[in-house]
Amino acid sequence: MDQDDPYRHTSVADRVPNPYGERDGRGPEGLGGWLIAVAAILGLSAAFAILSLGLAVFGGGLSGDLSPEYLGYVRARVAVDALLLPLALAALTLFWRKSRWFPHTFVAWAAVAAFGKGVRPWMMAMTGDVSLVMALATPLLWALLWYGPWIVYVLRSRRVRNTFAARR
C-alpha cells in the first residue's frame, strides 16, 4: 500500500548513496575508543599552533636581527601553523557535530601537518646542514609512521563510519 501511494514523498537524502555506508546498527558508534585520541591530537595541534604563532609574533621570532636561514625557517613554520590552526579548529567543530565531512577535514589537516614537518629539514638542506635525501626522508617517514595510521583509522574504522554517517 505504501508503494502505491502517490503522495508518499522520499527525501533526497534517502535516494542518494552515502559515501560512508549506511548506519546499520551493528558495530561501535559514538565518540569513544580511538576517536577520543583523534580529538586530543586535534586539540593539541590547535594549542601548539596558537602557542607557536604567539611566540613567533610576540616573542620576537620574526624580528630582523636573526640569521636569514633561521628567519626563513620561522616564517615557513608560521605559515604552516597559520594553515594548521583553522583546519584543526574546523575538524574539531565537525568532530563534535558528528558531521560526515569530518573524515575529509581530518585527512586535509593530517596532510598539511605532515607537509609542515618537512619544513625544518628542507630549510636545513637549503643551508647545507643536512643532505637533501635526509631532508626528504625525514618528513616522509614521519608522515608514514605517525599520520599514516591515523588517516587509515579515520578512513577505514567502523566506529568512524557509524558515527559520521548521514543521519536518517
**Burial of residue 68, with CB atoms counted within 10 A of its CB: 0-12 exposed, 13-18 middle, 19 or more buried:** exposed
* pLDDT at residue 168 tops 70: no
* pLDDT at residue 2 tops 60: no
- In the chain, what are the domain boundaries? 28-157
pTM > 0.75: yes or no = no
The pLDDT tens digits for 40-50 are 989 998 998 89
Average pLDDT taken over every residue of the chain = 78
* pLDDT at residue 106 tops 60: yes
∠ CA 37-108-136, rounded to 5°: 95
pLDDT band at 21 (very low <50, low <70, confident <90, very high): low
